[in-house]
Amino acid sequence: MIRQRFVRVFWSSLILYELFCLFLAGIIRDHSPSYLPPPLPGILEGAFLLATLLPLYLVLSFRGFLPRRRILNVLFFLFYFSAGVFFVGFLLSQTLIALHNLLFSDSKITGASRWTAGESTGGLLLLTLFGIALFERLRPPRVIRKTLFFPGLSPDLSGTTLLHLSDLHVGAWQGKGSLRRIAETARGLSADLVVYTGDMIDYRPEETRIFEKIFGSLQGRLGTFAVLGNHEYWTLGKRAPDFMKSRGVPILKNESRIIQRRGGRIRVVGVDDPAGEDEGSGCGPDIARSFQDVEEGEFVLVLVHQPTLWEGELKDRADLTLSGHTHGGQIGGRRPFWNLARIFFRYDAGLFEAESPALHGHFLHVSTGLGYYGIPVRLGMAPEMTLITLCAPASGSPAPAGSSLP
C-alpha cells in the first residue's frame, strides 16, 4: 500500500518536474542573451529539454528497462551540477544588486544589466569550480599523516606505521596512469602494514586483474590485508571473497590475523560488508566470529568498509577501526565544513574518538578514498591515503588525549 503510494507520488513528481522544465525552456528561449546568433537559443532550449529527461533515463535503467550507460551518469551530474552552481551564482548576484539598490537609490541597477550581471556571476562561479575540479583530478593523491596515541599500547608497537587505502574503484574513472601514481606514492611510504578498506574495484570482474597487476607488489613489511566493500559484492556476488583471494587480494572475511612486532601483538580483524548479506552463503558482517580469536593484551585493529558499523559493538572492542565507503561525499570540505556525505553518514570523513570516558583512546578513521563513484569529480575532497603511526605514551608522562592532529 505504502509502496504503491510512493510509486504514484514519484511518477507524479517526475511529470510535474518535466512540465516545470518545459516552462523553464520557454524562459531560456525568451531571455537568451542578445549576443547569441539565431539558431543557438533554439539549440540551447532543445539541449536543456533533453538533459531534463536524464532522471527518467536513470530510473528506467536502474529498473532494467534500458541499458546502463555510464556516460549518461556523467551528463546527469554535469547538467545538474552546472545548473545548480549557475543558479546559486545568479541568486547571489541578484541579492547583492537588491542590496545595492536599497542603499544607493540614485544609481539603481535594473533591466537588462541586472540579467547580464546574474548570467556573468553564475558563469564565472561555474568556470572557477570546474577549474578547481580539474586541478584536483590531475594532481597526485594527498598523503595525510596522523600520529595516534593509545594509552595501553605496548612500547614494542610504538612507531608502527599503517598505510590506509580505501575506495580505489579501479576501472571506474581511474586511468592506469593515475593508479600507478597512487601505487608509487604508497610504495614510497614503506609502511609496516598496508590495509585496504573495500571497494578496490568498481563494476566489472576484469578490474580485479588491473588491481592485481598494479597493486599486487605493494606490500607492507609486516603484512597486507583487505576487507570487501559493497562494490565487490555488487560485481561478484557471493563469489566475491574467493574470487578476490584468487587474484591475490588478502581478504579478511569475519576473521583475524596476528602481527608480531618485537614483543607486541597487533590483531588485525576484518569485518565483512553488509552488502554481502544479500548474497547469502555466510557473507555479511559477523562480529562474534570476527573477534573469536582476539586475546587479552593484543592491540585490536579492525578493518570494515562502512563506518556505520563502528557505532555498534566495534567501538568497544577495537582500539582502532579503519573504514571508507563515504568518499567524503566527493564534494565539500572536512569538518567543521560541510560535505555531501554528511547528509547520509554521522562519521563522514577523518578521525573520530569514542565519546565515552571508558572508551578513551578508541578511534575510528574514515578515509575519503582514492577513487570516484558515480561522478568523475572531487571538489574539496582530493583523493587521499593516510599513513597512521601508532604511539605509546612516554613512560612516566600522562597519556596524551588522542591524536596529534585534528
Q: Which of 254, 313, 316, 321 is nearest to 289 (CA)?
A: 254
Number of residues that bind Fe ion (CB under 5 A): 2
SS3 224: strand
Residue 338 neighbours by CB distance under 10 Å:
15
- Rounded Cα distance between 85 and 35, Å, is 23
Judged by CB under 5 A, the chain residues 282 through 311 that form the site for Fe ion are none
Cβ closest to Fe ion, residue 167 vs residue 232: 167
Judged by CB under 5 A, the chain residues 118 through 177 that form the site for Fe ion are 167
- Rounded Cα distance between 20 and 37, Å, is 26
Q: How far is the CB of 344 from Fe ion (least distance, A)?
A: 13
Cβ closest to Fe ion, residue 186 vs residue 266: 186
Peptide bond into 285 cis (omega under 30): no
Residue 217 DSSP label: T
Name the amino acid, one letter, at 22: L
Q: Which stretch binds Fe ion (CB under 5 A): 193-201, 265-273, 354-362, 385-393?
A: 193-201
Cβ closest to Fe ion, residue 167 vs residue 272: 167
384-391 and 142-149: which strand pairing? parallel
Cβ closest to Fe ion, residue 199 vs residue 319: 199
Cβ closest to Fe ion, residue 149 vs residue 372: 372
Q: Which stretch binds Fe ion (CB under 5 A): 81-89, 197-205, 211-219, 380-388?
A: 197-205
β-sheet bridge partners, residue 146? 388
Q: How far is the CB of 74 from Fe ion (least distance, A)?
A: 17
Give residue for cell 560485481.
Answer: 235
- Rounded Cα distance between 313 and 397, Å, is 31
Q: How far is the CB of 399 from Fe ion (least distance, A)?
A: 34
Q: How far is the CB of 232 from Fe ion (least distance, A)?
A: 10
R_g of the chain computed on alpha carbons: 25
Cβ closest to Fe ion, residue 45 vs residue 167: 167
Q: Which stretch binds Fe ion (CB under 5 A): 70-78, 92-100, 192-200, 284-292?
A: 192-200
Cβ closest to Fe ion, residue 52 vs residue 323: 323
- For position 319 contacting Fe ion by CB under 5 A, the verdict is no
Q: How far is the CB of 369 from Fe ion (least distance, A)?
A: 6
Residue 158 φ/ψ region, left for φ over 0, alpha for ψ in the -120 to 50 degree band, beta for the rest: beta
Q: How far is the CB of 169 from Fe ion (least distance, A)?
A: 6
Give residue for cell 505504502.
Answer: 2
Q: Which of 141, 250, 222 is nearest to 188 (CA)?
A: 141
Cβ closest to Fe ion, residue 167 vs residue 348: 167
Q: How far is the CB of 305 from Fe ion (least distance, A)?
A: 8
* Cβ pair 271, 364 in contact under 8 A: no
- Rounded Cα distance between 259 and 244, Å, is 22
Q: Who contacts 252 (Cβ-Cβ below 8 Å, separation ≥6)?
A: 225, 226, 227, 268, 269, 270, 303
Q: How far is the CB of 276 from Fe ion (least distance, A)?
A: 15
Cβ closest to Fe ion, residue 82 vs residue 178: 178
Give the residue, chosen from 192, 199, 348, 384, that forms a contact with Fe ion under the rule CB under 5 A: 199
Q: How far is the CB of 79 from Fe ion (least distance, A)?
A: 23
- Rounded Cα distance between 41 and 37, Å, is 8
Cβ closest to Fe ion, residue 199 vs residue 298: 199
Q: How far is the CB of 227 from Fe ion (least distance, A)?
A: 12
Give residue for cell 591475490.
Answer: 248
Helix or strand (DSSP H, E) at 60: helix 54-62
Q: What residues line the site for Fe ion (CB under 5 A)?
A: 167, 199
